[in-house]
Amino acid sequence: MFSKIQELAVEAGRIILEATSIEEAASEKSSNSDIVTEYDVRVQNFLIENLMALCPDAYFLGEENSSGGDEGKLYSGKAFVIDPIDGTTNFVRGFKKSSVSIAYVEDGEVVYGCCYMPYCDELFTAQKGKGAYLNGKRITASDRSIEHAVVAVGTTPYEKNKSRATFEIMRIMFESSMDVRRFGSAVIDLTDVACGRTDLYCELGLSPWDHAAGAFIAREAGAMVSTMNGSELPLDRRCSVLVGNSKCYEFFRNSEQVLKYKDLF
């Protein structure tokens, strides 16, 4: 089943690559920062249709809607958590930094993750207990200290009430590390930690489909993965996310300056 999931992710990526008149196909959802295109819906429908053929009794939780059915299966049964195009704003604006994300869940635990970046043809995969891979080559998180780290920070554009904390945390990370990055795709931020391009990633608010596969891949690559207050990442609600090598993760978790914002974690 897992090799078929990989094939579907790559095929879904082809829909992204072949998209035209993307900005005309975009519309607002909850705010001016929260947009969707007809391609998000097309990719999600493609994935659900084909994954359902693979696993008819699974529940589907996707960014553009769930498949209906029994949400309880997220925690007792089989489920897929899908982000058809993570980095939708990047997609609309032509930044070429977007990803297809598929997590397969059994009894509330991700057991397989697959993230495909069509613009750079990078396929990240991981199966529980078997490590993480990029295009079939084993990957591991880095071992750099915070002083030598590049830190990715997500800006939670759907929750601008958190912006003061976000940019203060970004300042703290910037002053403690080599530099910061903001790529606009949680999946890219998570898989960059998994393969050691970056050393820590944090964001004050993500949805389950943003992190389900990428955070699992990062954990299988040896990264520390949790909410900013150290809890497991939930699959049924938005949460903060902190993923990094152990040195940088502990730095963040023990920073008095960062902990001033713990009420938002």
Out of 162, 210, 219, 245, the only residue in the binding site for ligand LIP (CB under 6 A) is 210
Backbone angles phi, psi at 133, to 5 degrees: -140, 150
CB of 75 to ligand LIP, least distance (A): 23
Among candidate residues 81, 99, 79, 82, the one with its CA nearest the CA of residue 90: 99
Long-range contacts of 22-27 (CB under 8 A, 24+ apart): 22/91, 22/92, 22/94, 23/92, 23/93, 26/88, 26/92
Nearest to ligand LIP of 88, 176 (CB atom):
88
The residues pairing with 28 across neighbouring beta strands, listed in sequence order, are: 35
Interaction of residue 63 with ligand LIP, rule CB under 6 A: yes
Interaction of residue 87 with ligand LIP, rule CB under 6 A: yes
Determine the interface stretch with ligand LIP among 9-17, 52-60, 72-80, 181-189 (rule: CB under 6 A): 181-189
Give me the 103-142 binding string for ligand LIP, x by CB under 6 A, dash otherwise.
----------------------------------------
Write the burial class of residue 121 (CB in 10 Å: 0-12 exposed, 13-18 middle, 19+ buried): exposed
Q: Is 76 within 8 Å of 128 (Cβ atoms)?
A: no
Determine the interface stretch with ligand LIP among 47-55, 107-115, 160-168, 203-211 (rule: CB under 6 A): 203-211
Residues making contact with ligand LIP (CB under 6 A): 63, 83, 86-89, 154-158, 184-186, 203, 206, 210
